[in-house]
Amino acid sequence: MPQLTLIRTARELVKKHNFSGPRLREAIPYINAFSGKRFVLKIGGSVLDDLSLLPYLVEDVVFLKKVGINVILVHGGSRHLNEEMKKRNLAIELKNGLRVTSAEVLELAAEVFTEISFKIKEKIEKSGYKGIVLGRSSGLVKSKQKDKSLGLGFVGFPQTVDVSLLNGLADDAIPIVSSVTAGANPGDIGFNVNADDVAGIIASTLAAEKLILMTDVEGVLDENGKLLSSLTVKQVEELIASKVIHGGMIPKVQTCLDALRGGTLKCHIIKGSAHSFMDEILTDSGVGTEFVRDESVRKTVNKAECRP
């Protein structure tokens, strides 16, 4: 990084992102290492539930863009969809944690998620960058319907990503992807897809540097409730087998493992709070759980070397 750019970057980290002293010294090497790389960030947790927190996240994403780190934003909006369904007296039905999605609910989800996308776009454009909304009509992600015998309706799983839509974006563009996707087959009206899965397939297809999943909890906890800050694929499999990782965390960590196997370098699960994204990727200790391939840690000596 040129000296003048380094000084400006350091000043902005101190002024806007509360990085000073040791945190600032940690951040600069990571910024240099990640410049020119792609991250896929699935927005979740309180940042998505409380849209008043969005400006803080967008500020972080825009800062990374300035220093050459390209972030692809992915989101759903389950809580907001629930609120709209209640207003319209539509029954909320779940099966094994998945929303039963009729054609009417699918269209409502597309409407609600698009509204969220445009709120993110508005925040990005106030910062001088272009927010590019890539929803169902863009065809960026195409999905197939989950087994009809499950009785879930228009719920799908992602199949393909049209990377040309991402590769063709202008340098000042930040893509925003919602989890109502196009269908893979002619005549499909589209599908409601888990946002983690959408983020995962994008990260795998791009062989992204990082996949970051924001959620409601800090990350993976051990049997005593203590945060596990770094895990290999083998360790994750052992924790699932011993039921330390259980319930709703299993599909999230599975998304991370699939992304690692698909070519993503590292994956992270973090609590979706205002500045957790930057705190995870630009500090030695991080704030959540990182996932690495087993061979990625063979040559490392300590935790700090295992990150970024």
List the domain range (segments joined by +) for residue 231. Answer: 212-308
Q: How far apart are CA 83 and CA 92, in angstroms?
A: 10
Q: Is 114 domain-assigned?
A: yes
pLDDT: which is higher, 199 or 67: 199
Whether the CB-CB separation of 109 and 165 falls below 8 Å is answered with no
Q: Is 296 domain-assigned?
A: yes
Q: How far apart are CA 212 and CA 41, in angstroms?
A: 5
Q: Considering its fold, how many domains does the chain have in total?
A: 3
Residues 149 and 221 in one domain: no
DSSP secondary-structure letter at 150? G
Residues 191 and 115 in one domain: yes
Q: How far apart are CA 219 and CA 144, in angstroms?
A: 29
Residues 195 and 218 in one domain: no
Q: Is 253 domain-assigned?
A: yes
Q: How far is CA 16 from CA 60, 275, 284, in A?
A: 9, 11, 20
Residues 53 and 88 in one domain: yes
> What would the pLDDT profile of 72-107 be if each residue is shown by its tens digit?
999 999 999 999 999 999 999 999 889 999 999 999
Average pLDDT over every residue of 117-145: 97
Q: How far is CA 194 from CA 67, 152, 224, in A?
A: 30, 13, 29
- What pTM, to 2 d.p., does this model score? 0.91
> What would the pLDDT profile of 156-192 be if each residue is shown by its tens digit?
999 999 999 999 999 999 999 999 999 999 999 999 9
Residue 2 CB partners (closer than 8 Å, separation 6+): none
> What would the pLDDT profile of 258-299 be if each residue is shown by its tens digit?
999 999 999 999 999 878 898 899 999 899 999 999 876 444
Residues 202 and 218 in one domain: no
> What would the pLDDT profile of 203-224 be if each residue is shown by its tens digit?
999 999 999 999 999 999 999 9
Would you call 225 exposed, middle or buried from its count of C-beta atoms within 10 A (0-12, 13-18, 19+)?
A: exposed
Q: Is 39 domain-assigned?
A: no
> Which CATH number goes with the domain that contains 143?
3.40.1160.10
Looking at residue 301, what is its pLDDT? 32
Find tokens 């002024």 and name the residue: 15
